[in-house]
Amino acid sequence: MMKNKFLKLQFGNKAIIFTIDVLVGLIIAISFLTVSYLYLTKSTNDLPNLSVLRTGDDIFSVMDYDNDLQTLDSSHIQDTTYDLLPDHYDIYVNITSSDGKIINFGGNIPDDRFVASGKRYSVKINQNTTTYLTSRYWMWLK
């Protein structure tokens, strides 16, 4: 007795079922690979971000301990900052003092990448006069 054919094709139903099987297999495999790819590409390394933050802290610690910040001399602080700043970083600096001085310099803060920010407080003692400073910075990879 002959089997009934699903479609009356020359080679019977085997070919179309095989094709559907291959297509379903491919769809599943491609889905798995896509999901895997997405997970892998999301897993970027954030360690350089910490390095940006620490570099900024280091620069301002050095300038504080060397009393560069306490000069409140904009051009001196700017020169020292860029001397200490590694080539592949950029920075924006804002320094305010209790006697009303404000120092700002640096590049435009980007919004398309990680920007590390930090702050430190310093004291400037000149004879019997005391001035308090707040130094803020924003740093990013160029």
Query: How far, CA to CA in Å, does 30 sit from each of 35, 52, 56?
Result: 8, 38, 44
| Residue from 1, 2, 7, 47 binding another protein (CB under 8 A) | 47
**Secondary structure percentages of the chain, helix, strand, coil, to 5:** 45, 25, 30
Number of chain residues interacting with another protein (CB under 8 A): 35
Which residues in the chain belong to E strands, given as ranges? 89-97, 102-106, 115-126, 129-141
**Would you count residue 120 as binding another protein (CB under 8 A)?**
yes
Near another protein by CB under 8 A, which window of 1-9, 83-91, 101-109, 126-134? 126-134
Longest CA–CA span in the chain (Å) reads 114
Near another protein by CB under 8 A, which window of 5-13, 81-89, 105-113, 128-136? 128-136
Contacting residues toward another protein, per CB under 8 A: 25, 28-29, 32-33, 35-37, 39-40, 42-44, 46-47, 49-50, 53-54, 57, 60-61, 64, 98, 116, 118-123, 125, 130, 132, 134
